[in-house]
Chains A and B, each alone.
Chain A
Amino acid sequence: MLALVLTLLLVPSQQESDELTRSEELQLAREEKAQHLEPPKRSFMEKGLYEVKERRLVERFQAGFHGFHPLIGGIAKGSGFGIGTSYDITDKLKASAQVSMKGYQKYEVVFATPRFLSDRLFAEVRTTYRNNPEEAFYGLGNDTREETRSHYGLKDRSVAGQAGIRLSKNVKAGVHAGLVDVTVDQGRRSRSPSIGEVFELASLPAFDSQLTYLRTGVFFDIDTRDEPGNPRDGARYVARWNYFRDQNLRLHDFGLFDAEVQHYIPFFHQRRVIALRAKASFTRTADDQSIPFYMLPTLGGSEDLRGFADFRFRDKNLVVVNAEYRWEAFSGLDVALFADAGQVASKVSDFKFRDMNTAAGFGFRFNTEKKVFYRVDVGFSREGARVYLKFGNVF
């Protein structure tokens, strides 16, 4: 065969009658190939990817095994990397258990009926146990020092119900009520000192008390975001009012009002987005009541004031604003520049613009169109730089 090929190649053009026709040549080439057929082969990498897809391993992993689903992250702020599992007892009843590298634990059972009465009504009941052995505490107020970092342990058990109505596609409102039983202690041994080593425990409201609260409240939520997991357009307005009634001592009743506004301004086909958020928490107490320090609003960390530590500031009232400029580097990665400013105060009248704690930084958001699944934020503040590796979006 090769001789024939070389002959064809080397011998100059000849009379047509002496040559094979073009069609005959093509036929020869095909007959030659027919002698050496072999099945298509896959490389090692292709085999791996092929098996993952054909066996639907990702979907099966997400769907869980015999009702068990993996949980990664999402225990609590400051808990460190956490893993766990949830279990579908029925399609409406789920149980979960999570632990973190820092020893945080969370166990929960949720009964949810997300849709009934033509999707207009929704309700859920959940009971939760949390053990947070290393909650950071820097003292109360906006002018605490970083050096006073200490920690305490917090355990709470709660049972709570929520019911609501979807007033329209983007608007829902509802009520919630529940009991929460909270105890705090000096926490476990850690690199940071225990709370009692830094602060006078007697000065901290309700440190030595085990409290049971009856919590009642209402909420109102307008959500016009295009994709809640990775919003590029729309807005969200949330308001919640909660009243915590101390069932044991009647000394620590308080009301808590939370409000949050998010706004997303897209341009250039949503490949650029200005994301804005303002958040405030205000508490109210009667003159003879005090709020346990561990129930106070907190500020700082990966979710609101990047560049500062988690729980860096704590007081009765809180305001924080965030602005982000996000731009797409390529499909799958957005980059962000952000600026955060926030403040806590014991009285609303104490809020001063000049007392704002400010931070700025940049971040990388690994995403799909629908969801930010991982982010790396680097925040800079007067207290240095901090890197946050988090599952999920900031807002």
Chain B
Amino acid sequence: MKQTLALTILITVMVPSAFAQTFRADDPVWVDNDAAIDVKHIAKHKLNDQYDFMIHAFGKPGDRTPKRAMNVNTLGEVPDSSWFQNRHALRRMSIEELVRGPNSGSGPSMQGPWIVIGAKTEGITPGFRVRDARGDVYFIKFDPPQNPEMATAAEVISTKFFYALGYNVPENYLAFFTRQQLVADRKAVMTDDAGRERPLEEADLDTILKRVHRSQDGEYRAVASRQIYGLPLGPFQYFGTRPDDPNDIFPHEHRRELRGLRVFAAWLNHDDSRAINSLDVLAGVPGRRHVRHYLIDFGSTLGSGSVSAQKPRAGWEYMWEPGSALKRIATLGLWDRNWIQVKYPNLPSVGRFEAEWFDPKSWKPEYPNPAFLNATDEDTYWAAKIVMAFTNDEIRAIVKTGQLSDPAAETYLANTLIARRDKIGQQWLATMNSFDNFAIVEGELEFEHLGSRLDLAREPAYQTQWFAIDVVSETRRPVRKEDFQREAALFLVEVTSAAGTINVHIRERDGDLQIVGIDR
């Protein structure tokens, strides 16, 4: 308990609010080196998804104390780490980079047969694990028969978005193959419907393929998800820290990139954004090993529900909401939420995805997520800003990688994402103080109003006030803008408008001015 307290205090000290005006020599930190300590002993820890549902639906895991995200730097940004890399938002990616996403190649080799080294027949999502001619291992996942292209397109498109947003994701490729491409490994075992393991036979492959969509020319379309390099350790939770990972010191429910994921999940309708669809991997070489944290399995995103079109409830309501259930029972079903009335176009390769009724603020995953519930205005503003970084052309280019054969479906999907993006901007940029992109240019403080630049809101009238900070006495005194460099080594600029005040701290060091803190 003492150790936990000490750690908590230390972390609190490390990430002060800007009001404390304590800046360290290396602030703002842009890289959190959470691979610093070698992970010598760490255990695989699988999570039971029923248990995960129960503790979240009926309990309140994690710390729900309202507080600022703990892993942000003094600018309110997320340093690069084993969880998150600043990509498109801060260092704009080209269309080619966005389209390539995390992929390092072109997918499984077609130069030889794929050796099926594992298969899954139980449950509702059949699939294979194959080794290609290069020796790379891929998980093969399919579309449901009634929705050709839907789940595979959703997986590939969302993978690229989440990569560009900054997360670690697997390399997911669209793959097209015939039955002849698959050969069962003689040593492979599979689990049958009865839960028993037995040798995998060619007939098992036929049985699985009967349950998936096949084109008229006998070709199967699938997602080939390349096995992530490293030792899989099991999923990460959206609360607490991993007790056997020395580098994991920020409670997950207080990590900015996990809180902000709520906005990204809403945009992409990733209702399955729960622990079971994440993966910790032990990466590196002996002596320099660390845990990397991945988001995986995007089959239930956009309009796809993996095995069918997305459920109409998805994104609108938790699986278990006693209040709603009781209201429906008591009113004989006359009361219901808006999702019951939403109309979707008949596009089987898209599923259920729309923008007209979409409400980013009320969007919900399948069951409560502690990090999402802890998201503050700062977290959602940070995420919305990243979402708004995607231009229409960039969105269309990424959607195109889903290779939807129906042009109307592709257009609809892209337009829906654009409209949902705009609603997110409207929700979190237009209604908040969106003076941003602060920079020192030729000794001048420059900034812009994001809301007006993105045509989401009018730029409000504002004023700036300049203060010199005495870091020893922790006092401030007003200074003239023209004279501020002569007055002290640390300055505060207050940008005040009807939407509130943003504090910008500027440090002078060796004659150079540097923005060292932003507090909104």
A interface list, Cβ under 8 A from B = 1-2, 5-6, 8-9, 12-17, 19-23, 25-41, 45-46, 49-50, 53-60, 62-64, 268-269, 271-272, 325, 327-333, 335, 337
Contacts and interface: CB of A to CB of B under 8 A. Distances in A.
Interface stretch (B24-32, B126-134, B356-364): B24-32
Nearest to A17: B25
Interface string B238-268: 0000111111110000000000000000000
A81 to B, nearest CB: 26
B194 A62 contact: yes
B472 A12 contact: yes
B333 interface: yes
Given A29-B11, A59-B194, A13 B249 contact: no
B474 A13 contact: yes
Contact of A272 (B54, B333, B472): B333
Contacts of A29: 7, 10-11, 14, 249
Nearest to B509: A16
B13 A40 contact: no
Contact of B6 (A5, A14, A30): A5
Contacts of A35: 3
Interface stretch (B91-99, B215-223, B318-326): B318-326
Contacts of B7: 29, 32-33
Interface residues of B, number: 69
B402 to A, nearest CB: 24
Counting chain A CB atoms within 10 Å of each CB, the highest count among B12, B36, B339 belongs to B36
Q: Which 4 A-B pairs have the closest CB atoms?
A: A56-B195, A63-B194, A327-B333, A59-B195
Contact of A27 (B33, B45, B326, B328): B33
Nearest to B308: A369
Contact of B244 (A22, A40, A64, A329): A40
Contacts, number: 176
Q: By CB atoms of chain B within 10 A, which of A6, A23, A45 has the most?
A: A23
Contacts of A271: 312, 336, 340
A45 B2 contact: no
Contacts of B319: 330-332
Contacts of A268: 336, 340-341
B10 A28 contact: yes
Nearest to A270: B312
Interface in B172-209: 191, 193-196
A1 B2 CA distance: 11
B487 interface: no
A59 B123 CA distance: 10
A19 B25 contact: yes
Interface in B458-477: 471-472, 474
A333 B325 CA distance: 9
B499 interface: no
Contacts of A21: 24-26
Nearest to A19: B24
Contact of A49 (B11, B37, B50, B336): B50
A31 B33 contact: no
Nearest to A327: B333
B33 A23 contact: yes
A39 B243 contact: yes
A31 B36 CA distance: 9
Contacts of B21: 13
A337 B332 contact: yes
Contacts of A13: 20-22, 471-472, 474
A78 to B, nearest CB: 30
Contacts of A25: 10, 13-14, 24
Contact of B328 (A15, A60, A332, A335): A335
Given A20-B24, A29-B11, A30-B34, A327 B196 contact: no
A18 B249 CA distance: 25
B9 A5 contact: yes
B43 interface: yes
Contact of B247 (A22, A30, A64): A30
A14 B336 CA distance: 58
Contacts of A30: 34, 36-37, 246-247, 249
Nearest to B469: A13
Contacts of A269: 312, 339-340, 342
Contact of A50 (B22, B51, B73, B320): B51
A46 B51 contact: yes
A75 B134 CA distance: 57
Contacts of B122: 56, 59
A259 B474 CA distance: 89
B440 interface: no
B282 to A, nearest CB: 14
Contacts of A335: 328-329, 332-333
Contacts of A56: 122, 191, 194-196
Interface centre among A6, A16, A19, A49 (most CB of B within 10 A): A16
Interface string B409-421: 0000000000000
B104 interface: no
A27 B23 CA distance: 17
Nearest to B4: A36
A332 B471 CA distance: 60
